[in-house]
Structure 1
Amino acid sequence: MRKILVVGAGQSGLQLALGLQSHGYEVTLMSNRTADEIRSGRVMSTQCMFHTALQHERDLQLNFWESQAPKIEGLGVSVAAPGSWAEGPAARAIDWVGRLDGSAQSVDQRVKMAGWMETFAQRGGQLVIHGAAVSDLDYFSRTYDLVLVSAGKGELVSMFGRDASRSPYSEPQRALAVSYVHGLGPRPEHPDYDAVRCNLVPGVGELFVMPTLTTSGRADILFWEGIPGGPLDVFNGVKDPAEHLSLTLELMERYTPWEYARAAKVELTDAGGTLAGRYAPTVRNPIGRLPGGGLVLGVADVVVANDPITGQGSNSASKCAASYLASILERGEKEFDEEWMQGTFDRYWDTAQHVTKWTNAMLAPPPEHILNLIGAAGQLQPAADRFANAFNDPSDFENFFYEPEKTAAYLASLS
């Protein structure tokens, strides 16, 4: 029986550990927190998972919360009229919603990761609660057939060198601020079904609103992405959750008053329901070299970390875990050598590159043809639907998004 160590208990690490476990591998999982500490801790992300990523969970029968989580059937875009907030609340220039072919879902990672970790242990997996250092991995690399690193922060990430050719940004492009709330009213444009809403405020940033399942049931996530140094970049150093929510709502009142209108009765889900931070989107080399000569393979956002502006983090983690699982199973009893590690990452990069390209494009000021596309989707429902479904399959953006000629040809085909 092959022995595999997975370091890090997020979406990718746990999904991969549980997948390997189901195929008879002897798996050890290292986490720096217990399931109870995760469940009672601070929110970790804004996760909206689309059909393909959710299917990977279903394939492993890990979709434990599917019947409880809100069913997200659409994805909407609103755009504030540039400069309209100078004299008062912003005006909305564009508003539409696209329908998803397969529904999406969001489950608070505190719920999912704690539940999956307990499942891993119940199924006989070895769970080690310990924050791993490079020196630990040096030892473990000699006792396991393969070491996978899926802990996306801290000392371990430094083992994986930045790939400058795939990382155009060296600084964070957004300041992030998250609030989990109860009491948000329905969106009047579509009160009968749930959708993720992307509110774009040109030159200022973005507000994302999405329904989720949290530790206390149904909730909604309010997620500001502010251009650094701009009017949304005000959360740094805010430690009090109530102050964090108050700031979030003040900004909504000015820049997205159509969202603020349904937020009159919101309150935080819990004391751990806020999060703020920033990081530079980075692609790294997938193979880490240990002082003793051993090799480890980076997983998901250890090696491909995108800004959350396109909502792809958990989706990419799920797809990476599924891709790596397939590569490991196909390897059989052969050595997990450097060539195999590089090939395993390259296989994942075939899909991940589309996410990175799209995300980096969305962080930049949109060119005229993109503005035309987003505007046209308000009149052309097929364009709205296609844009929404590309969140599930970002490779489709190659066909109608990046090049003005392809965008024009696509829109002409609809009229």
Structure 2
Amino acid sequence: MRKILVVGAGQSGLQLALGLQSNGYEVTLMSNRTADEIRSGRVMSTQCMFDTALQHERDLQVNFWESQAPRIEGLGVSVAAPGSFDPGPSQRAIDWVGKLDGYAQSVDQRVKMAGWMETFAQRGGQLVIHGAAVSDLDYFARTYDLVLVSAGKGELVSMFGRDASRSPYAEPQRALAVAYVHGMGPRPEHPDFDAVRCNLVPGVGELFVMPTLTTSGRADILFWEGIPGGPLDAFKGVKDPSEHLALTLELMEKFTPWEYARATKVELTDANATLAGRYAPTVRNPIGRLPGGGAVLGVADVVVANDPITGQGSNSASKCAASYLDSIVEHGDKPFDEEWMQSTFDRYWDTAQHVVKWTNAMLGVPPEHVLNLIGAAGQLQPVADRFANGFNNPADFENFFYEPEKTNAYLASVSGV
């Protein structure tokens, strides 16, 4: 039986560990926190997982919360009208909702990671609660057939060099601020189904609102992405959760009054329901070389970390875990050498490259043809639906998003011009 070590217990690490376990591998999982510490700790992300990523969980039969989590059937886009931030519908230059072919869902990672970790242990997996250092991996690389690093922060990431050719940004492009709340009212435009709302405030940033399942049941996530140095870049040094929520709502009232109107009665879900930070989107080399000569393979955020503006983090982690699992199982008893590690990453990059291209494009100032596309979605429902479903399959944006000629041809074909 081949022995595999997975370092890091997030979406990718746990999904991969559970998948390997179900395929008969002897798996050790290292986490720097226990399941109880994760469950009672601070929120970790704004995960909204679309159909393809959810299917990977169904395939492994670890979709334990699917019947409880809200079914997100649409994705809405609003663009604030330039220059005026008074309440009322005139404040939105664009407002539409695209319907998803397959529903999306969000499960607070505190719920999911704690549950998955307990499941892994109950199924006989070796669970080690210990923060790993590079020196630890030097030893483990000699005692395991394969070491996978899925801990996306801290010392271990430094083993994986930045791939400058695939990383156009050296600095963070958004300041991030998250709050999980109860008491959010429905959107009057679609009271009969749940949708993720993407609110774009040109030159300022973005507000995302998404339904989720948290430790205390159904909730909503309020997520500001602020352009650094701008008015939304205001959360640095805010430690008190209630102050964080008050600032979130103050900014909503000013920049997205249509969302604030349904948030006047919200309260935080718990004392650890806020998060703020920033990081530079980065693609790294997939192979980490150890001082003793061994090699380890980076997973998900370790090797491809995108800004969350397109909501792809947990989706990419799930897709990476599924791709790596296939590569490991197909490799049989052959050694997991550096050539295999590189080809395994390259196989995942076939998918990941589309996420990187789209996310980096969305961080910049949108060109005229993209503004035209987003505007046309308000009049042409098929355009809204296709844009929404691009969140599930970002590769489709190649066909109608990046080049003015393709965008114009697509819009002409839909409108019948």
Q: Structure 2-normalised TM-score?
A: 0.99
Partner of residue 212, structure 2: 212
After superposition, what is the alpha-carbon deviation per residue over 1:256-286, rounded to whole angstroms, capped at 9, x for unaligned? 0000000011000000000000000000000
After superposition, what is the alpha-carbon deviation per residue over 1:359-387, rounded to whole angstroms, capped at 9, x for unaligned? 00000000000000000000000000000
Partner of residue 314, structure 1: 314
Between the aligned partners of 2:245 and 2:29, the Cα distance in structure 1 is 35
Q: Would you say 1:10 and 2:24 are equivalent positions?
A: no
Where in structure 2 are the equivalents of 1:11-410 lying within 5 Å? Answer: 11-85=11-85, 91-410=91-410
Tell me the secondary structure at the aligned position of residue 162 of structure 2: coil
Tell me the secondary structure at the aligned position of residue 118 of structure 1: helix
Letter in 1 for 2:196: V
Give 1:88 shift: 7.6
Give 1:3 shift: 0.1
Between the aligned partners of 1:276 and 1:76, the Cα distance in structure 2 is 24
Q: Is the 8 A contact 2:42 2:272 kept in 1?
A: yes
Letter in 2 for 1:231: P
Give 1:84 shift: 1.4
Give 1:225 shift: 0.1
Letter in 2 for 1:123: R
Tell me the secondary structure at the aligned position of residue 142 of structure 1: helix
Give 1:250 shift: 0.2
Between the aligned partners of 1:64 and 1:110, the Cα distance in structure 2 is 14
Letter in 1 for 2:248: T
Q: Where does structure 2 lack aligned partners over 5 or more consecutive residues?
A: none
Tell me the secondary structure at the aligned position of residue 44 of structure 1: coil
Give 1:91 shift: 1.1
Letter in 2 for 1:23: N
Between the aligned partners of 2:240 and 2:91, the Cα distance in structure 1 is 31
Q: Where does structure 1 lack aligned partners over 5 or more consecutive residues?
A: none
Between the aligned partners of 1:153 and 1:397, the Cα distance in structure 2 is 30
Q: Structure 1-normalised TM-score?
A: 0.99
After superposition, what is the alpha-carbon deviation per residue over 1:354-411, rounded to whole angstroms, capped at 9, x for unaligned? 0000000000000000000000000000000000000000000000000000000000
Give 1:82 shift: 1.5
Between the aligned partners of 2:180 and 2:266, the Cα distance in structure 1 is 9
Q: Is the 8 A contact 2:78 2:198 kept in 1?
A: yes
Give 1:184 shift: 0.1
Between the aligned partners of 2:104 and 2:414, the Cα distance in structure 1 is 26
Q: Is the 8 A contact 2:87 2:257 kept in 1?
A: no
Tell me the secondary structure at the aligned position of residue 358 of structure 1: helix
Letter in 2 for 1:256: T
The root-mean-square deviation of aligned C-alpha atoms, in Å, is 0.8
Tell me the secondary structure at the aligned position of residue 391 of structure 1: coil
Q: Is the 8 A contact 2:78 2:95 kept in 1?
A: yes
After superposition, what is the alpha-carbon deviation per residue over 1:208-265, rounded to whole angstroms, capped at 9, x for unaligned? 0000000000000000000000000000010000000000000000100000000011
Partner of residue 413, structure 2: 413
After superposition, what is the alpha-carbon deviation per residue over 1:3-23, rounded to whole angstroms, capped at 9, x for unaligned? 000000000000000000000
Number of residue pairs matched by the alignment: 414
Between the aligned partners of 1:115 and 1:98, the Cα distance in structure 2 is 32
Tell me the secondary structure at the aligned position of residue 253 of structure 1: helix
Between the aligned partners of 2:357 and 2:414, the Cα distance in structure 1 is 26
Between the aligned partners of 1:83 and 1:35, the Cα distance in structure 2 is 48
Letter in 1 for 2:155: E
Letter in 2 for 1:339: E
Between the aligned partners of 2:393 and 2:246, the Cα distance in structure 1 is 36
Between the aligned partners of 2:394 and 2:17, the Cα distance in structure 1 is 26
Between the aligned partners of 1:37 and 1:239, the Cα distance in structure 2 is 20
Between the aligned partners of 1:135 and 1:220, the Cα distance in structure 2 is 41
Report sequence identity in percent.
90
Letter in 2 for 1:22: S
Between the aligned partners of 1:365 and 1:403, the Cα distance in structure 2 is 15
Letter in 1 for 2:103: S
Letter in 1 for 2:105: Q
Between the aligned partners of 1:19 and 1:230, the Cα distance in structure 2 is 43
Give 1:32 shift: 0.2
Q: Is the 8 A contact 2:207 2:223 kept in 1?
A: yes
Tell me the secondary structure at the aligned position of residue 41 of structure 1: coil
Tell me the secondary structure at the aligned position of residue 142 of structure 2: coil
After superposition, what is the alpha-carbon deviation per residue over 1:141-179, rounded to whole angstroms, capped at 9, x for unaligned? 000000000000000000000000000000000000000
Between the aligned partners of 2:207 and 2:82, the Cα distance in structure 1 is 15
Tell me the secondary structure at the aligned position of residue 141 of structure 1: helix
